[in-house]
Amino acid sequence: MDYGLIGIVSVMILFGLIVLLSASSPNAYKQFGDSYYFLKHQIIFGLIPGIAGLIAFSRIPYLFWKKHAWNLLIASIVLLLLVFIPGFSAGFGTSHSWVSIGGLFSIQPSEIAKLTFLFYLAGWLSVRDEKSVSDFQSGLIPFLSALGLIALLMVLQPDTGSTTILAAMSLVVYFVAGAPLAYIGGLFALGLTGISLLVAITPYRAARLTTFLHPELDPKGIGYHINQALLALGSGGFFGFGYGHSRQKFQYLPEVAGDSIFAVIGEEMGFIVCVLVIVMFLVLSWRLMEIAKYAPDKFSKYICIGVGAWILVQAFENIGSMAALLPITGVPLPFISYGGTSLAVLMSAIGVVLNISKNTK
């Protein structure tokens, strides 16, 4: 088993819990009268299930997921459909991306679908040669149909951020499997066209794009979130104000425990630690690619590459939105942001890679 991968992931999770404690304490005390509420919730519904998933998935032979990839895809489609059914759906803001389990806790099916769709995609591509993958009828059309169905269900929630991550991960795996660069470019252009149409027909997406292009406009309205994030990052300087001394977390910066946690890291720990966080994600992705390089077969290779692309794209989508390099999409920072389903699923995905690492050449 690749213990280097375990070490990198463990450091990131521990760092995430430490940052989460500081970032979430004011909101936790205000909402629940308990400064440790979000930390305890993350441990109970994210870390503990994640450890169980990592251990279990690292022991299950990875070919099990290839055998049951189709069934897992169907199950994830059912979960994605449940968010539209009253009684099961649990919303937050404009998004209805959660399924309530008995009113006790909720799960986010789009996070689960990232992993199950990767199993399906890797299994489908692994039984095809490069000629079949590059063929328009037997390669591109089935790939686009499967991806389009899952992406459509995510967009309707609406969850554009997760849709972008799923699409980027899928395109990377499809390209590695032998898809022509012309197909990848065409699919990328198709995706941009779809995003443009969504922006045109939904006012809140248009507002996010306007804010991204001109963050100085309406700083107390649609530009409030990004301006507060930039203020937090900029005020931290090179070394930050010190752990626990963020000012923006006191009801100024929205979603401090979720997608804005990187801004709190910048404010409290400074530019140096922000760079180290980025380096950690790069090292983690490199480790996953090294395992893929020596993977025993095509299925395991595509799984490792897909998990690496997933984590890297999601990390830079989150960090880029906080630095005003990308529009804000609301995706969590992997292993660090608050979000039980995201943490548990990512740790389970790492468990699958660990099992593959035991069988590398």
> What would the DSSP string read from start to end of 220-235?
TTTTHHHHHHHHHHHH
Q: Are residues 222 and 328 in the same domain?
A: yes
Asked if residue 153 is part of any domain, the answer here is yes
Q: Are residues 274 and 252 in the same domain?
A: yes
Asked if residue 102 is part of any domain, the answer here is no
CA neighbor of 18 nearest in space, from 248, 253, 268: 268
Q: What is the mean pLDDT of residues 23-30?
A: 91
Q: Are residues 297 and 317 in the same domain?
A: yes
Q: What is the mean pLDDT of residues 18-32?
A: 92
Which among 177, 201, 225 is the end of a domain?
201
Q: What is the mean pLDDT of residues 171-197?
A: 87
CA-atom Rg of the chain in angstroms: 20
Q: At what angle do helices 261-293 and 298-322 cross, to 10 degrees?
A: 160
Residue 229 has pLDDT above 80, yes or no: yes
Q: Are residues 221 and 354 in the same domain?
A: yes
Q: Are residues 158 and 53 in the same domain?
A: no
Q: Are residues 294 and 239 in the same domain?
A: yes
Asked if residue 144 is part of any domain, the answer here is yes
Structure tokens belonging to residue 167:
């699409």
Q: What is the mean pLDDT of residues 186-193?
A: 86
DSSP state of 333: P
Q: Are residues 189 and 237 in the same domain?
A: no
Q: What is the mean pLDDT of residues 255-265?
A: 90
pLDDT in the model for residue 264: 93
Query: How would residue 91 be classed by pLDDT, with cut points 50, 70 and 90?
Result: low
What is the torsion angle, in degrees rounded to the nearest 10, for the CA atoms of residue 232, residue 234, residue 235 and residue 240? Answer: 90
How many domains are contained in the chain?
2
Least confident of 35-39, 85-89, 318-322: 85-89
Question: 211: helix, coil or strand?
Answer: helix
Which among 142, 174, 201 is the end of a domain?
201
Is residue 303 within 8 A of residue 344, CB to CB? The reply is no
Full domain range(s) for residue 178: 71-81+108-201
Asked if residue 33 is part of any domain, the answer here is yes
Top pLDDT among 204 and 82 is at 82
Q: Which of 80-84, 205-209, 253-257, 313-317 has the highest mean pLDDT?
A: 313-317
Asked if residue 291 is part of any domain, the answer here is yes
How far apart, in whole angstroms, are the C-alpha atoms of residue 63 and residue 239?
46
Q: What is the mean pLDDT of residues 261-269?
A: 93
How far apart, in whole angstroms, are the C-alpha atoms of residue 257 and residue 253?
10
Q: Are residues 350 and 231 in the same domain?
A: yes
Which among 174, 201, 228 is the end of a domain?
201
| Average per-residue pLDDT for the chain | 87
pLDDT in the model for residue 38: 93
What is the torsion angle, in degrees rounded to the nearest 10, for the CA atoms of residue 312, residue 318, residue 323 and residue 324? Answer: 110
Is residue 72 within 8 A of residue 119, CB to CB? The reply is yes
Q: Are residues 193 and 221 in the same domain?
A: no
Structure tokens belonging to residue 18:
């430490």
Report the Cα–Cα distance between both ends of the chain, in Å, rounded.
Answer: 12
